[in-house]
Amino acid sequence: MGRFKNILVAASPGRLETTTFRDAAKLAETDDAQLTVMDVIAPLPAWRKKMTLEGQVIDVEAALLRDREELLQRLVKTKRDGPNTDVLVKVGEPFLEVIRQVMANGHDLVMVGEPRSESGPAGQLSSGVMHLLRKCPVPVWVMRPSRARKLRILALVDPDPDDPVRDGLNDLVLELATSMTRREHAELHVGHAWTLTGETTLRSSPFVGISGEIVDVMVETVEATSREHLAALMERHQVADIGGSDHMVAGDPRVVLPRMASQLNIGLIVMGTVARTGLSGLIMGNTAEDILRSVECSVLAVKPEGFVTPVKPARHHT
């Protein structure tokens, strides 16, 4: 793959999934990347940080930090021949500290494990992971367990040559998906959902005055144009050369794309989260967020070029 050179593995609150660390170490070794493993503990109220018992001052917060750091160090030592790995434990809100670590140290990928929910819907993501997906300025790889023997990758794209931001995001998605397919000897699928915006209204509204036959032609035109755009994007990234296949379906992408992932038994989705460049207030498109909440497999989510995170750097006090 060779793209990522400074990988940050963020432990899920209170634990680090061993499979996540194993996969991160493998990626770092392949890419000759620096690897950092990070955990964050919640801050304690001032009166509980240090307690005095029988004349002895016990630094509770420092003890918790030492415990987490030692556990992570032991996990890292199991990969003796792996990449150089730093261990970092901080106090604060996990997603904020992870993003600040990215900003301060130039990490280019965040990997985080997300076990399947035992109580909520199968595709439900924790609030901390959703915050990372919305606000982290670099790609976030949400790792979920899979029993599949061969990795199947689904790259979700939405070609639009008239929108350079969106199309640049499509290029990044396919760049990552194709390189991962080669590295993992995986099976690549490229998915795209198309629709004629407002079709129901055009067909049924008494105020529009367009015949059903004309609407049919409009639908056919949108489908043909979408297919042309998808073919051009796939040819640009030489998807056919690695045996990749395309899947273009009609319908609401929030419904048909998660269904596609399930039907194809996908292990990893690579997708973009669309936001306006340079604006910190518009973080993730509703469609992208709904898809992320609906799938059960791992997801590698990337931002468009120029994305600005709303998270501010940590203030350093002297």
Q: Give the C-alpha separation, 235 to 226, whole Å.
A: 14
Q: Give the C-alpha separation, 29 to 2, whole Å.
A: 10
CA 133 to chain centre: 6
Provide the sign of the torsion angle of the four alpha carbons 134, 154, 242, 169, taken in this order: negative
Q: Are strands 140-143 and 298-302 parallel, antiparallel or unpaired?
A: antiparallel
Judged by DSSP in three states, 143 sits in: strand
CATH 3.40.50.12370 is held by the domain 147-318: yes
Amino acid 165: pLDDT: 80
Domain limits, the chain: 1-145, 147-318
- Fold identical between 1-145 and 147-318? yes
Amino acid at 62: A
Q: CA 291 → CA 19, 88, 173, 197, 247, distances in Å?
A: 24, 32, 15, 19, 16
Judged by DSSP in three states, 115 sits in: coil
Q: What would the CATH number be for the domain defined by 1-145?
A: 3.40.50.620
Amino acid at 28: A
Amino acid 317: pLDDT: 43
Q: What is the pLDDT along the chain (318 residues), one digit of tens a residue?
A: 468 999 999 986 556 778 888 889 989 988 899 999 999 988 888 777 777 777 677 788 888 889 888 988 888 887 766 678 999 999 999 999 999 999 999 999 999 988 655 445 555 788 888 999 989 999 999 998 877 788 999 999 999 888 888 888 999 999 999 999 998 999 999 999 999 999 999 999 989 889 999 999 999 999 999 999 999 999 999 999 999 999 999 999 999 999 999 999 999 999 998 655 444 544 566 888 899 989 999 999 998 887 888 898 877 543
- Judge whether 30 and 183 are in contact, CB under 8 Å: yes
Q: CA 292 → CA 166, 277, 318, distances in Å?
A: 18, 21, 41
Q: For the chain, what is the radius of gyration of the CA atoms?
A: 23
Amino acid 81: pLDDT: 67
Q: Give the C-alpha separation, 91 to 216, whole Å.
A: 59
- Judge whether 28 and 83 are in contact, CB under 8 Å: yes
Amino acid 276: pLDDT: 53
**DSSP H/E element including 287:** helix 286-294
DSSP state of 55: T
- Residue spans of beta strands (DSSP E) within the chain: 6-10, 34-41, 50-53, 56-59, 85-91, 109-113, 140-143, 152-156, 187-194, 245-250, 268-272, 298-302
Provide the sign of the torsion angle of the four alpha carbons 293, 295, 297, 301, taken in this order: negative
Angle between helices 127-135 and 94-105 (to 10 degrees): 30
Amino acid 15: pLDDT: 65
